[in-house]
Structure 1
Amino acid sequence: MPVNALHPDQPAIQAAIIDLDGTMVDTLGDFDVALNDVLKDLGRPTVTRSDIERMVGKGSAHLIRSALLHGGLTSDEAAGVHAEAWTRYQAHYLAINGQHSAVFPGVVEGLTALRARGLPLACLTNKPLSFARPLLQAKGLAGFFSHVFGGDSFERTKPDPLPLLKTCEALGTPPAWTLMVGDSQNDGLAARAAGCPVVLVTYGYNHGDPIDQAPHDRLIVSLAELA
């Protein structure tokens, strides 16, 4: 069996799990438009792209709550308007999903190389599944994946290991032989807890923190390096 480049004492990687926002697609533009449209609807202060970059990664509910708190609401006040904000956010986001985003350089090359090696691939994101599937379709990436799971697919989201463990079950591969590719500490922490090797990209969204501080086995500047 070929040597595993990340862990030479283990068999080669048999499958890969790939994150979406910040790893495959630069979606800050979509978040910027949809989230600020919601805040304008509610008469709340808008947020900048740099603000959003620090807020994304833990799901849409967390993003909305963070933006409301950033605009000066208390936790109780934010909770009081969250249901309306979420309903508006769904409508705004689905209306523009993918229109203000772009696939990062090297993504198609990296995914193509993994598939050429016969590895089954799954996309696992904290983004709601109803947003993730259309985005992958719009960007021409859906065909690479045998499974797609969102932040509402399981009881918990990354950094909890449950989504990775469930995705490994779907892929039919042990966690130790299933590579996680992401862009943030959420991916690194979830992979470590699940027992998956993990590669992180250096260009994604990591809540404003240096990516080299997140758990990882390797850092890459492009998914093309996975070839």
Structure 2
Amino acid sequence: MNLDLAHFDAVIVDLDGTLVDTLGDFTAALNAMLADLALPAVDAGVVETMVGKGSEHLVRSVLRHLRASDALYDQAFDDYQRHYGVVNGLHSKVYPGAVEGLRLLRDRRLRLACLTNKPTDFARQLLTSKRLDVFFDPVFGGDAFERKKPDPLPLLKTCEALGSRPGRTLMVGDSSNDARAARAAGCPVVLVTYGYNHGEPVQEVDADGFLDSLARLDSWTSPVGAARGLG
């Protein structure tokens, strides 16, 4: 696999766990939701293992973790959405190297899209609050298509929007969701080592490369990547 950036016409970048550490936002919104339901709070360590498969999965996972009734889901989801809209971006931070990596891709004249399982409105709000929106057109969330990652449909639709073939479109993410979707869509995929990945070691995921900073997207010299012969 040729992972030189010259091989690509476009790059699709995940949001949560890849560009922005949003664990604080998730935890704050979930705990506000749980307070509304008179349920105990959860800590960030628990939430971290549940992030990445969309808001619906996150809310259901928290309720299951607390052994709460499934009958609470509709109210819980509505409460979560309302609270998340308030805290979105307040307890999150851009990862070191993320801006430098996006500038590098832009300077290489690669077309950039942000593709996340977070709802599109929340994704756009977060990108704007962190001044990352200037790098992306388009932005697609988990509600943009009929299915979410790890299904390949969102990547294939994003490639269409970018006007690029999957084989010449690099996926950059932090989890097995991103890698599985990319593999199924025919996109090369690189994962960062600092994201969430459902509480599992990201180095065990089938990917073409691993990076400890997006600022290294043109050098492939991350320790994990080098260990796999990708440096």
1:168-191 deviation digits (Å, cap 9, x = unpaired)? 000000000000000000000000
- Using the alignment, how far apart are the partners of 2:4 and 2:195 within structure 1? 24
2:8 to 13, 23, 39: 13
1:50 to 38, 41, 45: 45
Q: 2:178 maps to what in 1?
A: 187
TM-score of the superposed pair, with normalisation by structure 1? 0.93
Q: 2:226 maps to what in 1?
A: none
- Indicate the SS of the match to 1:180: strand
- Using the alignment, how far apart are the partners of 1:92 and 1:185 within structure 2? 28
TM-superposed CA distance for 1:7, in Å, is 7.4
Identity over aligned pairs, percent: 60
1:71 to 43, 53, 66: 66
- Using the alignment, how far apart are the partners of 1:5 and 1:195 within structure 2? 14
TM-superposed CA distance for 1:212, in Å, is 1.0
**Aligned 8 A contact 1:44 1:68 in 2:** no
- Using the alignment, how far apart are the partners of 1:220 and 1:126 within structure 2? 21
**Aligned 8 A contact 1:16 1:180 in 2:** yes
1:119–1:99 Cα change, 3 Å: same
- Using the alignment, how far apart are the partners of 1:7 and 1:171 within structure 2? 19
1:88-107 deviation digits (Å, cap 9, x = unpaired)? 11111111110000000000
- Using the alignment, how far apart are the partners of 2:34 and 2:160 within structure 1? 39
How large is the Cα RMSD of the aligned pairs?
1.3
Q: 1:132 maps to what in 2?
A: 123
The one-letter code matched in structure 1 to 2:44 is R
- Asked whether 1:29 is paired with 2:24, we answer yes
Q: 1:209 maps to what in 2?
A: 200
The count of aligned residue pairs is 218
Structure 2 unaligned runs (5+)? 219-231
TM-superposed CA distance for 1:5, in Å, is 3.9
Structure 1 unaligned runs (5+)? none
